[in-house]
Structure 1
Amino acid sequence: MGIHENKLSNSSVRLKYVKLGYHYMVSNATYVCLLPLIIALPHLFHDQFLHIFHHHDLITPSSLIALMIFLATLYFVLRPRRVYLLDFACFKPQPELMCSGETFIRQSKLADCFSEEALGFQKKILEKSGYGPKTYAAETLLEVPMKPSIAAARKEVEMVMVGAIDQLLAKTGVNVKDIGILVVNSSMFNPIPSLSAMVVNRYKLRGNILSYNLGGMGCSAGLIAIDLAQRLLQDAANSHALVVSTESMTLNYYRGNNRSMLISNCLFRLGAAAILLTNRLSDRRRAKYQLRHTVRTHKGSDDKSYECVFQQEDEEAQKVGITLSKDLLSVAGEAIKTNITMLGPLVLPISEKLLFLANLIGRKVLKMKMKQYVPDFKTAFEHICIHAGGRGVLDELEKNLGLTQWFMEPSRMTLYRFGNTSSSCLWYELAYSEAKGRVKKGDRIWQIGFGSGFKCNSAVWVALRTVDPRTEKGNPWMDEIDEFPVHVPEVSPILI
């Protein structure tokens, strides 16, 4: 038995190195093929240049040089401006806002609006959620009795947004008058004046700022905000863009007994992130990341996708809530598949593209019976941040993309420690990798988020420097990072 296991082990090791050799050979094939041509070029044109200079015909070389200078200038003028991420900050609420499973169920009972069956259902959801005992909830939802109001909701979002922005400005030292673009996203709370106006008023931002407020766009709106800021920066000279991602549950706590609407009560938690982007080349040396790609996918033309996350009144008491349909996982799967199909050609090494193409030809053209080849995205990225929308989605993505526990760790630990904070989740996940000291210069980071609509969006970043956690300020993980990762049981019974 031991000899057999040894043989299997040796075969696995050999197969691993064969695969690595294949990836290396194919990925560098372009350079291998071009090298002889580069070496031969001087010899090919040696006689022609000698002939030109021998006859003192300087018009041709001068014209060539002028043309090269003109084309180089044209390239630098017309190419899209590069977008850099100076830094980001995630808000960490005060300890008194912690909401364990026991606290949540106790508050639900005291709200006196749920049946025993509804309370039992919420308890089961929390037990399987993958949440730890230290996630945070809005202050109003922890009061007895609860007193939701627009004033309370404003107070909530102002606390989290200002907390994140203050940290960010302290970390970067950027003058608020240098911020020319502002994008704020919050799906469910969109007051008048808007949240973007709240930020402008609070920080006295300049009068000609390009401000945008994204509402109703779900948990993937944070990456939509990044994409919008990137597009605006490519048309603006020497500017900074502030992106703020948050969500509010104060006015969106469902008080009925419809099961599909109770799920959002259990899952959403308190949090916010602020991100500062720039297109200034002079800022590159102190920036953390460069934005390489954004890929957006919208499946809203399909009725099932459009209706799988839907705000409406319930049939029993006409109370407003957000319905999460049973089709959510399958809809999310299709949206993610479409998004990564678009992303793959941009980021995957040539070796993976060839394997995918060979598999496609085998299945579609030659009608061979074989499984669809799923590209190995671990060859394209050193870090993957998946929206911590729920344990089930993370399990499916881990399985379908063949990801290891190491790649899943930031998402799972964010779900455990902070819960689903909607569009800001991705930044808590990147902050986790930074706090662990994992982000090195040249590392590639993939953020993927999904939400109502149904939408799936991706952003790809490259680290411009190694992030030293010892010098990081305002990271929400730093004072407890040594406690992670933790084991998260399949079921965490709530004792109440």
Structure 2
Amino acid sequence: MVGNTTKFTNFLEPLFSQLTGLLCLAILISIIIIHHATRRRPVYLFDFACFKPGDSHKCTRETFFRQMRLPGTFTEESLAFQVKMLERSGLGESTYAPSSLLSVPMNSCMAEARKEAMDAVFSSVELLLIKTGVNASDIGIVIVNCSLFNPTPSLSAMVINRFGMREGVMSYSLGGMGCSAGLIAIDLAKQLLQVHKSTYAMVVSTENMTLNGYMGNNRSMLVTNSIFRMGGAAVLLSNIPADRRRSKYELVHTVRTHKGADSRSYGCVSQEEDADGTVGVALSKDLMAVAGEALKDNITTLGPLVLPLSEQFLFLITILKKKVFLMSGVKPYIPNFTRAFEHFCIHAGGRAVLDQLERSLGLSEWHMEPSRMTLYRFGNTSSSSLWYELAYAEAKGRICRGDRVWQIAFGSGFKCNSAVWRALRAVPPPAKSNHNPWMDEIGGFPVVVPKVATLASK
């Protein structure tokens, strides 16, 4: 009997061993399948292109002042105020405006607005397709953002029609989201690329001036006339693993902060009618304070994701002193973000915005150079300004492999949005055929921007 039991045991041992091995293999395969099904797919920035209008669109300060006199709707005080704003704006003599606002008389109509949109959007997309060599029919997602011009058919439909994209392409048009809408579009593209496998997402960012110049005399609405200019950019994102070696950057983080629940934040940038029924975009006196609060919330979320532990520890100590130990007089600790990023692309919203961000983040002139030079050369091109800034850093040959880039922008609502990129390779200064908007003149930058520029002719 004992012998039979021993034989039976000897028979079961290898069987149990095989079953155990098969079970372990099944568990391992299940873990691998679950991991591949749930892991976040890398999102690569294949390349981007910025629209550079022709010389016929040049808008010098003298041209601006002449054109503002044409409608005959401004008082002398309003004209003087706009000139003052322009002199202090940080804009140079070579920014661009649409032909509708440079013609005599000015021609602000729907047809001209469409023409401005097509010039900026189509030119950016054409350059992008040339730079990447990707066929328009291979693009699976199209997102176009423009805050103040939302025609029917939509801007994304215009792109699909112009470039003959496939019927199944997913398209989105984002409107009314201000200068930070470009990063919202990037975040939306990232979310879609996590769901849809092996495809390209194209993000196009622009703004439209033709129908949105303010012709009244409310000072809170006149500022936008002086700083907004014509521009646009197109970006190609990919989640195809094979594209990693050809792409420039990998998207590391996106952080979005929305303060719309607060009435003061919600109303600080608003498109509305003045007392005479003239439509314009009003800027509240609370704008800088609201922007500061939104920035604080955004970097509070972003900081732990990007800052080294030493910086996080110092920040935590300050919070504990104020909140737990109730120590008065403790100055807030501003983390050293230069330890987290090599390059900063801060939306070129205006000189005051850049000055405030430089102080708040403790950045050097070198770090601020792409933003200041973009403001000087192209003006405030709304959400596309971040790409002119990154193009500037590339044109200067500053991007090395592994470098981290922080893009940050503000927008109506009120919003503060960030995107963090890591360079997958060094980006050499562009050749003339590279279609970088700075390529013909980068040797002349940076320039000294005077605190107050003097109008050549008044």
TM-score by length of 2: 0.94
Percent of counterpart pairs with the same letter? 60
**More off after superposition, 344-353 vs 426-435:** 344-353
1:62 CA drift (Å):
6.7
Report the counterpart of residue 126 of structure 1 in structure 2. 86
In the aligned structure 2, how far is the partner of 1:323 from the partner of 1:92?
28
In the alignment, structure 1 residue 318 sits paired with structure 2 residue 280: no
Q: Deviations over 1:294-326 (max 9, x none)?
A: 1111111111111111111110x2111111111
Q: Deviations over 1:421-458 (max 9, x none)?
A: 00000000000000000001111111001111111100
Which amino acid in 1 is paired with 2:319?
Answer: L
Q: How many positions carry a matched residue from both structures?
A: 440
1:75 CA drift (Å):
1.2
1:69 CA drift (Å):
4.4
Instruction: Indicate the SS of the match to 2:323.
Output: helix
Which amino acid in 2 is paired with 1:354?
Answer: F
Match of 1:246 among 187, 190, 206: 206
Two-structure CA RMSD over aligned residues (Å): 1.4
Instruction: Indicate the SS of the match to 2:205.
Output: strand
Report the counterpart of residue 414 of structure 2 in structure 1. 454
1:195 CA drift (Å):
0.7
Report the counterpart of residue 7 of structure 2 in structure 1. none
Report the counterpart of residue 352 of structure 2 in structure 1. 392
In the alignment, structure 1 residue 356 sits paired with structure 2 residue 315: yes
Report the counterpart of residue 367 of structure 2 in structure 1. 407
In the alignment, structure 1 residue 193 sits paired with structure 2 residue 153: yes
Which amino acid in 2 is paired with 1:208?
Answer: G
**More off after superposition, 141-150 vs 58-67:** 58-67
Matches within 5 A, 1:119-268: 119-268=79-228
Which amino acid in 2 is paired with 1:92?
Answer: K
In the alignment, structure 1 residue 282 sits paired with structure 2 residue 239: no
Structure 1, unmatched stretches of 5+, are 1-55
In the aligned structure 1, how far is the partner of 2:24 from the partner of 2:406?
42
Match of 1:341 among 300, 318, 337: 300
In the alignment, structure 1 residue 305 sits paired with structure 2 residue 269: no
Structure 2, unmatched stretches of 5+, are 1-15
| Closer, same or farther: CA 355–68 of 1 in aligned 2, 3 Å | farther
Report the counterpart of residue 326 of structure 2 in structure 1. 367
Instruction: Indicate the SS of the match to 2:204.
Output: strand
Instruction: Indicate the SS of the match to 1:155.
Output: helix
Which amino acid in 1 is paired with 2:140?
Answer: G
1:469 CA drift (Å):
1.5
Report the counterpart of residue 487 of structure 1 in structure 2. 448
Report the counterpart of residue 473 of structure 1 in structure 2. 434
Match of 2:63 among 78, 103, 128: 103
In the aligned structure 2, how far is the partner of 1:105 from the partner of 1:400?
34
1:71 CA drift (Å):
2.0
1:100 CA drift (Å):
1.2
Q: Is the 8 A contact 2:394 2:430 kept in 1?
A: no
Report the counterpart of residue 377 of structure 1 in structure 2. 337
1:358 CA drift (Å):
1.4
Report the counterpart of residue 5 of structure 2 in structure 1. none
1:362 CA drift (Å):
2.0
Q: Is the 8 A contact 2:156 2:172 kept in 1?
A: yes
Which amino acid in 2 is paired with 1:363?
Answer: K
1:76 CA drift (Å):
2.1
Q: Is the 8 A contact 2:100 2:107 kept in 1?
A: yes
In the aligned structure 1, how far is the partner of 2:77 from the partner of 2:143?
42
Q: Deviations over 1:136-168 (max 9, x none)?
A: 011111011111110000011101111111100
In the aligned structure 2, how far is the partner of 1:470 from the partner of 1:171?
12
In the aligned structure 2, how far is the partner of 1:136 from the partner of 1:274?
18
1:468 CA drift (Å):
1.1
Instruction: Indicate the SS of the match to 2:416.
Output: strand
Instruction: Indicate the SS of the match to 1:219.
Output: helix
Which amino acid in 1 is paired with 2:454?
Answer: P
Report the counterpart of residue 429 of structure 1 in structure 2. 389
1:96 CA drift (Å):
1.4
In the aligned structure 2, how far is the partner of 1:104 from the partner of 1:96?
14
In the aligned structure 2, how far is the partner of 1:152 from the partner of 1:146?
10
1:364 CA drift (Å):
2.0
Instruction: Indicate the SS of the match to 2:178.
Output: coil
1:222 CA drift (Å):
0.3
Q: Is the 8 A contact 2:430 2:436 kept in 1?
A: no
In the aligned structure 2, how far is the partner of 1:449 from the partner of 1:470?
26
1:375 CA drift (Å):
0.9
1:65 CA drift (Å):
5.7
Which amino acid in 1 is paired with 2:314?
Answer: L
TM-score by length of 1: 0.87
Report the counterpart of residue 6 of structure 2 in structure 1. none
1:82 CA drift (Å):
1.1
1:57 CA drift (Å):
6.1
1:262 CA drift (Å):
0.8
In the aligned structure 2, how far is the partner of 1:439 from the partner of 1:59?
55
